[in-house]
C-alpha cells in the first residue's frame, strides 16, 4: 500500500471520556497524536474529563452546533466505551458539522450493544456462539426464569455487561450456582447482560480499514481486511489484565490457522463491517477451531497505540502507523463531503 501522506491537516484528538476505559483512551489518543505529528499534521488535544467536561489546554471548551470544533479540519475521537464509542459523541460531532474518524451514530450504537450486534449478525445467519440476553429487571421479576434462560447456553459460559469493552465486568461461569453472582457483577456495570456459551479453539482478530475512493479502482471493494492475528494468553480467558498488563498476551501474525480459515475470517470481518454500516476502521474478533470460524465481536474504536492489536495487524498488512492515522482522516473528510452533497 502507498506510504504517501496527504497535505498537512489540523486534527482534533479527543481523549479520555466518561467510561471506565478513560485511561486506555488517554494512551490510545497520545499514540494517535504522535502518529499525526509524525505525518506532518498539527494536533489540537481535547481531553474529556471523567465527568464529561471537555477541556482544551485545561480550559473548559464550549461548542456551537453547526460551527465545527475549534476550527479543525477533522476530529479523531479516540474514545473507548460508553459516552464515546456508543454514538453519543458521534451525534454531537454530526451536530457540529465537522468531519470525524470512524463509525457514525447508528453503527457505533449497534456495535457498542453486544446483544443488538449479535441479534443483527444472527438475522444475517453469520456464525456465532449461542447467547441469551438478560436484564436486571428480568432477575428482579422472576429470578428462576432468568437463570433457566442463562443455563440454556450450557457451561462453561461467559457473563458480560452488554455495553462495555476491554473485558470489563466479564465473569467465567463453570458451575450453575455461580451464575447469580456473575449476573450481579454484570448488572453492577449495566442493566443488560449477555450470557455466551464458551467457544473452543483460538482467539483470532482481524483489522478492517476502509478504502478511499481513489483506492477502490473499480473493484467494488470498499474495505480492506488485514492479515489475521492470533491472541495467546496465559490466563483462563482474554481478560482486562491480559489485555493491558505487560506480557499478559502475545499477538502472533499470521495466526496459526489454515488458508481456508484465514480467508473465512477476512470475509466475515468485511461482511460484518458493512452489515452494521461501519466506516473507517474496525477490529473484528473470532473463535477459530480447525475450519470452524465463529464471529465474536466488532470494535469500532479499538486500542490505538502502535503496539495495540489493530495497529500491528494493519502494519503486517503494509500500512505503517503514521499512514494509518492519515488515511483515516482522509476517509472522514470524504464521508463528510459526500454527506454535504446530499439533500436532507
Q: Which cell is 49 given?
A: 474529563
What is the Cα–Cα distance from 268 to 189, expressed in whole angstroms? 30
pLDDT at position 268: 98
Q: Is 244 a catalytic residue?
A: yes
CATH code: domain 131-197 is 3.30.1490.20
Q: Which CATH class is domain 109-126+200-333?
A: alpha beta
Q: Is 334 a catalytic residue?
A: no
Q: Provide CATH code, domain 10-101.
A: 3.40.50.20
Give CA–CA dist 266/206, Å, rounded.
Answer: 7
Kindly list the strands in the beta sheet with 131-135, ordered across the sheet, starting from the edge strand earlier in the chain.
131-135, 192-197, 157-161, 171-173
Residues 113/120, Cβ–Cβ less than 8 Å: no
340 is catalytic: no
* Rg, C-alpha atoms of the chain: 20
pLDDT of residue 242: 47
Predicted confidence (pLDDT) per residue in 87-130, tens digit: 999 999 999 999 999 999 999 999 999 999 999 999 999 999 99
Q: What CA–CA distance (Å, rounded) separates 268 from 20?
A: 30
Query: Of 35, 303, 326, 335, which residue is the catalytic one?
Result: 303
Catalytic residue from among 17, 18, 19, 21: 21
Active-site entry in 44, 47, 73, 285: 285
Domain with CATH 3.40.50.20 in the chain: 10-101
- Cell digits for 38? 509524525
Per-residue pLDDT at 344: 67
Name the active-site residue from 9, 33, 283, 327.
283
State which residues of the chain have pLDDT below 50: 1-4, 242, 244
Catalytic residue, chosen from 138, 299, 321, 335, is 299
Strands (E), the chain: 10-16, 42-48, 54-56, 59-60, 74-77, 131-135, 157-161, 171-173, 192-197, 202-210, 223-225, 229-233, 249-252, 281-289, 292-299
* Active-site annotation holds for 239: no
Please indicate whether residue 166 is annotated as part of the active site: yes
Catalytic option among 166, 226, 296, 308: 166
Is 285 an annotated catalytic residue?
yes
Please answer whether residues 201 and 230 qualify as being in contact, where contact means their C-beta atoms are separated by less than 8 angstroms: no
Provide CATH 3.30.470.20 ranges for the chain.
109-126+200-333
CATH 3.30.1490.20, the chain: domain bounds: 131-197
Cell of 196: 455466551
Amino acid at each position: 500500500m502507498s506510504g504517501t501522506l496527504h497535505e498537512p491537516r489540523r486534527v482534533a484528538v479527543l481523549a479520555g471520556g466518561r467510561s471506565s476505559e478513560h485511561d486506555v483512551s488517554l494512551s490510545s489518543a497520545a499514540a494517535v497524536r504522535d502518529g499525526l505529528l509524525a505525518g506532518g499534521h498539527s494536533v489540537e488535544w481535547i481531553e474529556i474529563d471523567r465527568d464529561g467536561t471537555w477541556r482544551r489546554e485545561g480550559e473548559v471548551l464550549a461548542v456551537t452546533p453547526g460551527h465545527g470544533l475549534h476550527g479543525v479540519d477533522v476530529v479523531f475521537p479516540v474514545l473507548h466505551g460508553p459516552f464515546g464509542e456508543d454514538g453519543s459523541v458521534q451525534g454531537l460531532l454530526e451536530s457540529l458539522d465537522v468531519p470525524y474518524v470512524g463509525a457514525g451514530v447508528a453503527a457505533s450504537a449497534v456495535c457498542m450493544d453486544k446483544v443488538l450486534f449479535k441479534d443483527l449478525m444472527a438475522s444475517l445467519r453469520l456464525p456465532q456462539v449461542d447467547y441469551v440476553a438478560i436484564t436486571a429487571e428480568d432477575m428482579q421479576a422472576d429470578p428462576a426464569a432468568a437463570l433457566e434462560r442463562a443455563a440454556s447456553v450450557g457451561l462453561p459460559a461467559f457473563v458480560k455487561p452488554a455495553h462495555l469493552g476491554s473485558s470489563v465486568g466479564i465473569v467465567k461461569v463453570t458451575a450453575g450456582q455461580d451464575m447469580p453472582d456473575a449476573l450481579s457483577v454484570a448488572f453492577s456495570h449495566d442493566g443488560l447482560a449477555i450470557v455466551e456459551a464458551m467457544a473452543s479453539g483460538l482467539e483470532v482478530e482481524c483489522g478492517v480499514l476502509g478504502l478511499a475512493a481513489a483506492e477502490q479502482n473499480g473493484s467494488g471493494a470498499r474495505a480492506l481486511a488485514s492479515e489475521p492475528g492470533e491472541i495467546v494468553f496465559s490466563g483462563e480467558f482474554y481478560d482486562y489484565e491480559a489485555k493491558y498488563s505487560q506480557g499478559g498476551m502475545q499477538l502472533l501474525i499470521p495466526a496459526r490457522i489454515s488458508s481456508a480459515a484465514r480467508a473465512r475470517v477476512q470475509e466475515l470481518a468485511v461482511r460484518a463491517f458493512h452489515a452494521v454500516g461501519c466506516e473507517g476502521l474496525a477490529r473484528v474478533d473470532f473463535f477459530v477451531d480447525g475450519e470452524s470460524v465463529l464471529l465474536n465481536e466488532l470494535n469500532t474504536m479499538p486500542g490505538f497505540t502502535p503496539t495495540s492489536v489493530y495497529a500491528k495487524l494493519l502494519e503486517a498488512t503494509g500500512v505503517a502507523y503514521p499512514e494509518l492515522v492519515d488515511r483515516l482522516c482522509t476517509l472522514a473528510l470524504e464521508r463528510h463531503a459526500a454527506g454535504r452533497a446530499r439533500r436532507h
